[in-house]
Amino acid sequence: MAATFTIFALFTTLSCFCLISIEAGGSATPGFGTDLIHRDSPRSPFYNPSRTRSDRLHAAFRRSVSRASRFSFNQPSDIQSDLTSGSGEYLMKISIGSPPVNNLAIADTGSDLTWIQCQPCTNCYKQNYPYFDPKKSSTYKTLSCDAKPCVALRDDGTSSCDNNSCSYSISYGDQSTSGGDVAEETFTFGSTTGGSAVVPKVTFGCGHDNQGTFNESSSGIVGLGGGAASLVRQLERSISGKFSYCLVPLDNPPTVSSKINFGSNAVVSGPGVVSTPLVSKSPATFYYVTLESLTVGSKSISFKKSKVDGDGEAAEEGNIIIDSGTTLTLLPQSIYDNLESALIAAIKGKRVSDPQNLFTLCYQSTGDLKVPPITAHFTGADIVLLPTSTFLEVEVGITCLTMIPTSLDLAIWGNLSQMDFLIGYDLVKQEVFFKPTDCSKQ
């Protein structure tokens, strides 16, 4: 994506019996969190009961490929939020403005600047919720050109000035665009203490001209990436640079939600925890890590570069990004080919074709189909993936490998490969932590 931002967002008010105030950029606080609800879950307001499980899965898989193309580029207390699952994306409860406006937001680690569709809409796509009206909020404030957030956005080519008013313009790799005013507003999140965490003066984009492939269920973008404009960077001092999430597998009951936490509750510790360094690369939005190899049984598939004179070089640092908004894991073609060959040799089953022509390794689903575990070897962290995440019944009677090849320069570790792991990001220590766990009990 040309502007290195990607994700759509909707916001919702959370009932609160007590309010906690968090200063964006303020001193460290206990943290906050909420549920993450999969967009295709019956708990999601966008759930369509007429669509089959296969319909929903394939829509999510197609979005993985589309999303990858977008990535192409030549304060107060504990905050916790539910993540509602949907079409491979996770909706986060949140609210904006004073008084707060109800909505949902897709949480994404591959985006920085948060923006929503705002009145007056000169060119807005259709959405299910009313457009945000800044005139009805007592805490809305547009930023001047010399404001620090505007200067920071201008440095990466996102913002510009007109009559000393800061504006933004973003173009995505799939030709979608958003433009409008850069402003400050109050955001409200659910809290693990049972109340609400109020965060004033969050920099975001108030979009008046937005078009492209955006979905009606989304009213904008919420950024949890590593760039300076992202929500986690704005809250970095208040949350000590920490956030974590735990994604439940797709087949869990609809009453079970994934969780996202910020601050002290986001610390990942205890038995079984492993960590790998975050690698600083451009663009800063993405969370780059180094995947050294994959193992299938005793067969190792190396990411290391080969040398003509013998020994292989180390794997390129930061050769893959962790992305919560992409469903599938996308691997370089040569690595994928070796992985597929190792799996074919290990699996005893009848191979079949994917009717949707997306997956290249599929088997007839039978009760005795046994798939070997795949171990991902990141620098300093070995992670054994769940067979239920690496192979998924995409249609009745057809089970496919949920890793696919990509011709793009950017490899992506998708959210299916992250399920039933508590994954923590520490932007101060520059590390990502993994802990195998039952996310339905978090």
pLDDT at residue 219, rounded to an integer: 79
User: Under a CB-based contact definition with an 8 Å cutoff, are residues 223 and 204 in contact?
Assistant: no
Count H helices, E strands: the chain?
5, 30
User: Under a CB-based contact definition with an 8 Å cutoff, are residues 329 and 417 in contact?
Assistant: yes
221 forms beta bridges with 115
| Helical (H) or strand (E) element with 295 | strand 291-296
pLDDT at residue 327, rounded to an integer: 87
Determine the 3-state secondary structure of 433 from DSSP. strand
31 forms beta bridges with 263
Per annotation, catalytic residue among 108, 112, 156, 426? 108
108 is catalytic: yes
Spell out the residues 6+ positions from residue 14 whose beta carbon is closer than 8 angstroms to its own.
34, 93, 94, 95, 188, 189, 190, 196
pLDDT at residue 120, rounded to an integer: 95
* Number of neighbouring beta carbons within 10 Å of residue 348: 9
Taking alpha carbons only, the member of 409, 346, 333 closest to residue 375 is: 346
188 forms beta bridges with 95, 198
Q: What is the mean pLDDT of each run of 10 residues along the chain (442 residues)?
A: 30 29 53 67 63 62 57 46 53 87 78 90 87 96 93 81 87 78 90 75 94 77 89 91 90 77 91 97 93 94 67 82 90 95 95 91 89 95 92 92 88 93 96 95 81
40 is catalytic: no
CA 299/CA 323 separation, integer angstroms: 26
CA 29/CA 372 separation, integer angstroms: 43
pTM of the model: 0.83
pLDDT at residue 174, rounded to an integer: 65
Per annotation, catalytic residue among 78, 323, 420, 426? 323
